[in-house]
Amino acid sequence: MLTVETRHAVSQAETKTLDTEGLRRAFHAGGMFQPGEIRLVYSHYDRMIMGGAVPNGKALVLDHVKECGTASILDRRELGVVNIGGSGRVSAAGTDYAMEKGDVLYLPMGAGPVTFAGDGRFYILSAPAHKALEARLIRIEDAKSFRTGSAETANDRTIFQFIHPEVMQSCQLVVGYTQFHGGSVWNTMPAHLHDRRMEAYLYFDMPEDRRVFHFMGEPQETRHLVMANEEAVLSPPWSIHCGAGTGSYTFVWAMAGDNVDYRDVEVVPMGALR
């Protein structure tokens, strides 16, 4: 079963007028990981697609998505898959990829239908592509990683870069995830902007009663969304994106836009936030 929800772009001026429910309708995405289903969110921010596939004992095939306007989703797109669950398998273009929790798979334009199977909980990310590249399965030991932050500032964390120029080539999709160490809860602070790229966050590895307060909006007009486990947020190019949790968690970050330069950001001074 395939379900697709479309999210249109929302301006800074409109965002200032939204109440909590309005903000959640525009930027929050929950319920993507349903047993036996593929659920996608088609965003008008750089045409990013995010979603979940949970085979739950039967194979699920991702192929035609009406919103893409092509016969098959990868006819003019590239796709990243992050397994946030148990052992699973993803198949495309005649190749099977066995994926454990934490593995990331890149599938290029032209790879055809994608089949999900096993006990995985697959987080799907896709952006338009301009050429066919090499498919690649990237395990956590093959990712580029670095530890940053400190316990004193509650942001001691390790950043793992998977679909990233220093690991592999993609057209515009950049994907990785960040894991926090005990006692640390703050992500992406000081906050920053990157007007040339949108971003999406998926928060996971959280107990049922844990929450992350995700901050968004213009630096002088901040808003927040309360995020539960396996919920995602769309971050427009004009918005900050940072957060703090009630305990440690992991989040997948994904970007699409004009470039793949991870360092192309404008840091927002703490004193500028309102």
Residues of the chain with pLDDT under 70: none
At 188 the three-state DSSP class reads coil
pLDDT of res. 20: 97
Binding-site residue ranges: 192, 194, 199, 241
CA distances from 47 to 50, 137, 241 (A): 10, 24, 19
Amino acid at 25: R
pLDDT of res. 262: 81
pLDDT tens across 248-263, in order? Answer: 999 999 999 999 888 8
CATH number of this structure's domain 2-272: 2.60.120.10
pLDDT tens across 183-210, in order? Answer: 999 999 899 999 999 999 999 999 999 9
Quote the pTM value.
Answer: 0.97
Binding-site residue ranges for Zn(2+): 192, 194, 199, 241
pLDDT of res. 264: 86
Distance CA 70, CA 205 (A): 35
Per-residue DSSP letter, 3: E
CA distances from 153 to 21, 188, 244, 255 (A): 32, 12, 12, 26
